[in-house]
Structure 1
Amino acid sequence: MRFNRTTALVMAGTMSLGLLAACSNDEDPKADDSGSPSASADPNAPVEITVAGLLPTADDAAKQQLADRITAFQEKYPNITVKSEDYEWKNSTFTTQLAGGTLPNVFEIPLTDGKTLIENGQLADIDQYVKALPYGSDFNPALLANGQGSDGKIYAVPAKSIYAVALHYNRKLFTDAGLDPNKPPTTWDEVRADAKAIHDKTGVAGYATMALDASGGWQLAAGANSRGGLIETSAGDGKYTATLTDPAVKAHLEWLKALRWEDNSLLARADLGWGEINAAFGGGELAMYTSGSDVYNALVEGNGVTADWGYGLTAIPTDNGGGALTGGTLAAVTKDSTDAQKDAAVKWIDWWYLSKLQDQTQAVADAKTRAEADPAQAVGTPVLPIFSEENYKESQGWIKDYINVPLDDMKGYTDVMFTQKLVPEASASVQDLYNALFPVVQAVITDKNADVDKLLDEANKTGQAAIDAAG
């Protein structure tokens, strides 16, 4: 769910990334009733679009990098004026923004929200424009499916931050506690032991978890998935069952409870969402937490983390057949956009999000701009491929001279990123399920005597009611 959280490969069962191959599509990209992508609008007529920009916390270097890319885009397309807006998807405000028509023409949503918004008729049909791109038929089909309607048309495209939930850690705190930062924990028992050692030796919380709003439920689900559990099941008949009482959900809550009340190693804050926990980690308030594997970019751009800060990344521990929860971001276009704005919007999506993955010149230009910013922005943060593993590795080779992230300190993740078991997010009412779960996480953090079984039973009833109401 991240995106601040967010979200995932909506597929039946689990998968290995190595099995995901790029798709092919023999359809004519101009087969839409309206003719060619530009048939309904003069391609040279002036048009203005607003686009989702950066997080409100982004630093000046990141803002300048975006400004430079907008300038270059407008030089290529002189008839298009682009205005960016600070943007952070939040479950608590998105619905109001969508209903009120205050979203930019190009906006970002979690992968899991694509299907629902499409079914509700709330996204623009951008099928003909996307298919006209040079790589319009090359998307990873498992990812693209999240932005396709039942009519097969494309309403949103996978754009960035396709990730697996991973464990982020402060290497310097590991060293201060007498632990080897090159041997991060690989089991939840080891995470607990290391968290206690760090707290006992340094006084800093060894572990923290998101607990605020849907992000708290998101990370509880990630913990359950890593332990072999699910928060929703389906018999394949289109009907879904909430399983918030899964033993793996309880096991992860009891684990958090032990860290908080037995070891005193869990950061005693129930107000941590995605942004808040990043800030706390960047400020040295905690040693370990789980989040999307791509979060290093946000830590650099908004939380003062640098290549020599001491950041470490490793795979989330798994047992009992569990895997890493996956997620990411779709780029979509507002329903009330004109044809000219849709055309311009897809050109921007290509320019800002995707062309750097397909075109060496664009890849190098983007990497060079980020690397030479002051302060430098992250280049080369590990993410899962929007197109294919081969394309990802090739594009990384294009920018190798500009990669500035501490890849040697991310090997615990990069060594398994293409082979680890991946778990898609729930398919039905996922945000409602997360919202039902986060109060349980907060209760465990704030109440030593929290009745986990009772709380999960109540949450499950709430989650099932949301699923049933959605049909």
Structure 2
Amino acid sequence: MKSAPKRSAFALVGVLSVAGTLTACGASEDPAAEPTGPVTIEVAIDAGLEQPAIDAFDERIAQFEEANPDIQVETKEFTWSGTTFAAELAGGTLPAVFPIPFTDGRALIERKQIADVSDLVAELPYADQFNPTIAAAGQDADGAMWAVPIAAYNQGLHYNRALFEEAGLDPDDPPATWDEVREAAKAIADETGQAGYAHMTQSNTGGWILTTETYALGGRVVEGEGEEVTATVDNDATVAALEMLREMRWEDDSMGASFLYDWGTINQDFAAGKIGMYVSGGANYPNLFTQNKMDPDEYGVTVLPLEGDDAGTLGGGTLAAVSSAASDAEQAAAVKWIDFYYISKLTDQEAAVAEAEVAAETDQPVGAPALPIFDRATYEEQQSWIKDLVNVPLENFAPMTDQMFDQPVIAEPAIATQDVYAALDPVVQAVLTDENADIDALLADAQTQVQGLLDRS
């Protein structure tokens, strides 16, 4: 096994790299070609992992290289960020195999900024078994899969069970309405001195969570399809979500004093016991545990409260992509790695148990629930294979797992997604930092900006 001396970072969403150019190389002459000699590929690894997690990753690499003696794997840390990814893509600093958010898939495919590995993917035994809604994120307009779905999520309400207990709340009965969220946030702030509810606000995450709250209240920030897409940012649900934040911040004083959170920093403070509740992807526990040392006994998660006729939970996920600069042999090796590392543990009992054993031996989370990329039956079968190795407090996930399959999952805006979120970041920031912020005016400006983005896309 060859490990790069330096590892470079990856979070919830990540990307497969090009070696040095923003435009794609030409398509492979034989995209289904097997590696014919020693091939080295660089793959993404989470940043900030503790040594046991690194050891577990290296063990999986060793297993892969033993099964594929003509392929060597090196690692590079990679953290996807909406504000830096384009520069990393253009600068050729990304690894050869990397994760990207669902929201980036179609644009990168259309611009041919990732490799067309669709012929290789089509040969995988489960290629036609993906949930169609999830599969679409990695497919081109003709349905060919260029990037492989490796994880899906629906948004959840994460909460600190210790802070709940300190505030006199029952952690086994978390809030089921937004009024209850507000009440719990105030109780936590009053009784513990910590932020009862925190909100991401920058690097596109403020718009991401505001859109989540909008969906949960029955609204949409964008409507329509194809050329008939219209911005609907200034809808009643978004106004209601912002009004709730304003009241929690300025009337209840329940949101603490930090208002420049992104995904990484809010995870850090939540794991450190500084936040009672926040909204993020429902499958966030492994990151909280491995990168932020979250105490498992203090962790809780539940589904989002849904209110309104068209309410639903925002859903998204992660794709594994391959560099457009990769050779035929490197592309074939990359798809082998994606199949081995990301997917086989979901579809093959032997692989599922092998990965779970490595994770358990190195004290990594085993069995943390997540929204399945295949169907519910496949997910439940996979969970049954590893049940004897599960080392997470499943009872703390019960408020989520008991309900998540019953909630409507609504896809993120399909066009200019990250740009739409970026346009909404300043709206959330303003409401949380200016007591006199004019919500209607802020949304009117954002409405104009988002419509311009849609018109140009």
Q: Same fold (TM over 0.5)?
A: yes
Larger RCO: 1 or 2 (CA < 8 Å, sep 6+):
1
Q: Which digits, 9 at most, give the CA deviation of each residue in 1:216-258, with x for residues without a partner? A: 1100110110000111001x45321111111111111110111
Structure 2 letter corresponding to 1:397: S
Task: Please tell me whether the aligned partners of residues 44 and 97 of structure 2 are also in contact (alpha carbons under 8 angstroms).
Answer: yes
Structure 2 letter corresponding to 1:74: E
Cα distance in structure 2, aligned partners of 1:351 and 1:445: 44
Determine whether 1:44 maps to 2:36: yes
Percent identity over paired residues: 46
Cα distance, 1:325–1:343 mapped onto 2, change above 3 Å: same
Pairing of 1:55-204 with structure 2 (within 5 A): 56-160=47-151, 162-204=152-194
Cα distance in structure 1, aligned partners of 2:432 and 2:422: 16
Pairing of 1:64-463 with structure 2 (within 5 A): 64-160=55-151, 162-234=152-224, 236-308=225-297, 310-321=298-309, 322-373=311-362, 376-463=363-450
Cα distance in structure 2, aligned partners of 1:453 and 1:57: 40
Task: Please tell me whether the aligned partners of residues 4 and 215 of structure 1 are also in contact (alpha carbons under 8 angstroms).
Answer: no
Structure 1 letter corresponding to 2:300: G
Cα distance, 1:145–1:377 mapped onto 2, change above 3 Å: same
Cα distance in structure 2, aligned partners of 1:115 and 1:44: 31
Cα distance in structure 2, aligned partners of 1:248 and 1:177: 29
1:15 maps to what in 2? none
| 1:131 positional shift | 1.6
| 1:6 positional shift | 6.1
Bigger shift: 135-144 or 441-450?
135-144
Structure 1 letter corresponding to 2:221: I
| 1:437 positional shift | 0.4
Q: Which digits, 9 at most, give the CA deviation of each residue in 1:125-179, with x for residues without a partner? A: 111211222222222222111111123322101012x110000001111111111
| 1:93 positional shift | 1.0
Structure 1 ranges of 4+ moved more than 4 A: 3-7, 32-36
Q: Which digits, 9 at most, give the CA deviation of each residue in 1:251-290, with x for residues without a partner? A: 1111011111000101221210001000000111110001
Task: Please tell me whether the aligned partners of residues 31 and 328 of structure 2 are also in contact (alpha carbons under 8 angstroms).
Answer: no
Q: 3-state DSSP class of the match of 1:145? A: helix
Q: Which digits, 9 at most, give the CA deviation of each residue in 1:398-424, with x for residues without a partner? A: 000111121111111101111111111
Task: Please tell me whether the aligned partners of residues 37 and 128 of structure 1 are also in contact (alpha carbons under 8 angstroms).
Answer: yes
Bigger shift: 417-426 or 187-196?
417-426
Cα distance, 1:443–1:33 mapped onto 2, change above 3 Å: closer
Q: 3-state DSSP class of the match of 2:72? A: strand
Question: 5+ unaligned residues in a row in structure 2: which ranges?
Answer: 1-9, 15-26
Structure 1 letter corresponding to 2:147: A
Q: 3-state DSSP class of the match of 1:441? A: helix
Task: Please tell me whether the aligned partners of residues 268 and 445 of structure 1 are also in contact (alpha carbons under 8 angstroms).
Answer: no
Bigger shift: 127-136 or 114-123?
127-136
Pairwise CA RMSD: 1.7
Task: Please tell me whether the aligned partners of residues 226 and 323 of structure 1 are also in contact (alpha carbons under 8 angstroms).
Answer: yes
Cα distance in structure 2, aligned partners of 1:446 and 1:260: 9
Cα distance in structure 1, aligned partners of 2:201 and 2:260: 6
1:27 maps to what in 2? none
Question: 5+ unaligned residues in a row in structure 1: which ranges?
Answer: 8-31
Bigger shift: 179-188 or 404-413?
404-413
Structure 2 letter corresponding to 1:312: G
Bigger shift: 444-453 or 126-135?
126-135
Cα distance in structure 1, aligned partners of 2:116 and 2:162: 49
Q: Which digits, 9 at most, give the CA deviation of each residue in 1:47-74, with x for residues without a partner? A: 11111111x2221111111111111111
Task: Please tell me whether the aligned partners of residues 253 and 441 of structure 1 are also in contact (alpha carbons under 8 angstroms).
Answer: yes
| 1:34 positional shift | 5.8
Q: Which digits, 9 at most, give the CA deviation of each residue in 1:428-452, with x for residues without a partner? A: 1111110000111111111111111
Task: Please tell me whether the aligned partners of residues 296 and 393 of structure 2 are also in contact (alpha carbons under 8 angstroms).
Answer: yes
TM-score (norm 2): 0.92
| 1:103 positional shift | 1.6
Cα distance, 1:420–1:316 mapped onto 2, change above 3 Å: same
Task: Please tell me whether the aligned partners of residues 5 and 215 of structure 1 are also in contact (alpha carbons under 8 angstroms).
Answer: no
Cα distance in structure 1, aligned partners of 2:259 and 2:295: 27
Q: 3-state DSSP class of the match of 2:40? A: strand
Cα distance in structure 2, aligned partners of 1:204 and 1:442: 20
Cα distance in structure 2, aligned partners of 1:126 and 1:150: 15
Structure 2 letter corresponding to 1:271: L
Structure 2 letter corresponding to 1:52: A
Cα distance in structure 1, aligned partners of 2:257 and 2:450: 26
